[in-house]
C-alpha cells in the first residue's frame, strides 16, 4: 500500500490499477473440476506404480498372466479378494473364475486354474504385516478412486460438450475432456482477443529461444497462462 501511495504521488492521477476481472462462475467451476481430474489421475498413477512394485515382490508371476488386453483394474480387483498367492491357490476355481468374470476379464476367467497354478508355485516373498497393510490400502485406494475418476470424467465431458464453443476445439488431438475443459474455461470468450497472435501469446503455445555461451536451443515458453501451458 505504501508503494501504491508513492506511485500515486509521483506519477499523479494518471496512475491507475488494472481493474479486477472476476471469473465467470461456470468457467471457475469447470476449471476446478479439471484440476481435480488432473490431481486424481496423478494420485491413481502413483498408486498403480506402487501396486505393481509390491506385486513384483509378493506375486511376480501375476504380470505374466495379465496382459495389456485386460483392464488395469482387473488385477487390483483380484488381489483385493485374494491378497496373497497362498489364498488364491487355495480358493475354489469357480470362485476365482467369478471374480475375473465380474471384472470383465472373460478370457482370463477361463484360465482360472492356470492362474492358481502360478500362485501355487509363486516365488514371491511371504507376506508380513507391513506388506499386508500396503496391499489392503492400495487396493482399496485404487478401486475407490477409480470410480470417482470415472464419474468425474463423465461430468467434465458433459459440461464441456454443453459449451457453445466446444465445436471449435473438439478435434484437438490427444486431448481428453479435462484438457478441453481447461482450454474453454481459461479462454472464456475467444472474441476478446483481437487476433490469433494475441491468443497464442496468452496460451504460451510458442517456443522460446534459450541462449548462453554454450547453449542454443528452443524450449517451451514460460510466458502465457500457466493452466493452458
Report pLDDT for 37: 93
How far is residue 95's CA from residue 1's CA, in Å, rounded to a whole number?
A: 70
* Choice among 44-48, 142-146, 207-211, 225-229 with the minimum mean pLDDT: 207-211
For 101-146, the pLDDT digits (tens) are 999 899 999 999 999 999 999 998 877 888 999 999 999 999 999 9
Reply yes or no on whether the pLDDT at 161 is more than 80: yes
Question: What is the pTM assigned to this prediction?
Answer: 0.76
Say whether pLDDT at 14 is over 60.
no
Task: Read off the pLDDT of each residue in 65-83 and give the average, rounded to a whole number.
Answer: 87
CATH for 23-193, among 3.30.160, 3.30.379, 2.60.40, 1.10.287?
1.10.287
For residue 212, what pLDDT is reported? 56
User: What is the predicted pLDDT for the residue at 25?
Assistant: 84
Q: Which one has a higher pLDDT value, 165 or 81?
A: 81
pLDDT over 70 (residue 16)? no
Average pLDDT, the chain: 83
- In this predicted structure, the answer to whether residue 75 has a pLDDT above a threshold of 90 is yes
According to the model, what pLDDT value does residue 173 have?
81
Give the domain ranges of the chain.
Answer: 23-193, 194-221+225-229
Residue 53 has pLDDT above 80, yes or no: yes
Q: What is the pLDDT of residue 20?
A: 54
Give residue 199's pLDDT: 79
Residue 23 has pLDDT above 80, yes or no: no
Amino acid at each position: 500500500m505504501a508503494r501504491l501511495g508513492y506511485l500515486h504521488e509521483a506519477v499523479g492521477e494518471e496512475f491507475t490499477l488494472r481493474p479486477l476481472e472476476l471469473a465467470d462462475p461456470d468457467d471457475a467451476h469447470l476449471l476446478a473440476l479439471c484440476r481435480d481430474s488432473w490431481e486424481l489421475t496423478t494420485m491413481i498413477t502413483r498408486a498403480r506404480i506402487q501396486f505393481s512394485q509390491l506385486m513384483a515382490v509378493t506375486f511376480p508371476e501375476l504380470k505374466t498372466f495379465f496382459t495389456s488386453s485386460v483392464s488395469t483394474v482387473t488385477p487390483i480387483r483380484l488381489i483385493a479378494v485374494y491378497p496373497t498367492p497362498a489364498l488364491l491357490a487355495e480358493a475354489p476355481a469357480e470362485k476365482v473364475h467369478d471374480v475375473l468374470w465380474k471384472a470383465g476379464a472373460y478370457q482370463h476367467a477361463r484360465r482360472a486354474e492356470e492362474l492358481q497354478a502360478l500362485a501355487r508355485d509363486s516365488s514371491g516373498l511371504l507376506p508380513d504385516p507391513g506388506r499386508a497393510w500396503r496391499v489392503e490400502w492400495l487396493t482399496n485406494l485404487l478401486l475407490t478412486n477409480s470410480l470417482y475418476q470415472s464419474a468425474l470424467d463423465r461430468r467434465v465431458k458433459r459440461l464441456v460438450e454443453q459449451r457453445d464453443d466446444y465445436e471449435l476445439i473438439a478435434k484437438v488431438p490427444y486431448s481428453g475432456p479435462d484438457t478441453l475443459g481447461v482450454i474453454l474455461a481459461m479462454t472464456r470468450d475467444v472474441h476478446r482477443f483481437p487476433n490469433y497472435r494475441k491468443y497464442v501469446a496468452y496460451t504460451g503455445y510458442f517456443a522460446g529461444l534459450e541462449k548462453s555461451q554454450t547453449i542454443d536451443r528452443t524450449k517451451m515458453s514460460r510466458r502465457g497462462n500457466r493452466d493452458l501451458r
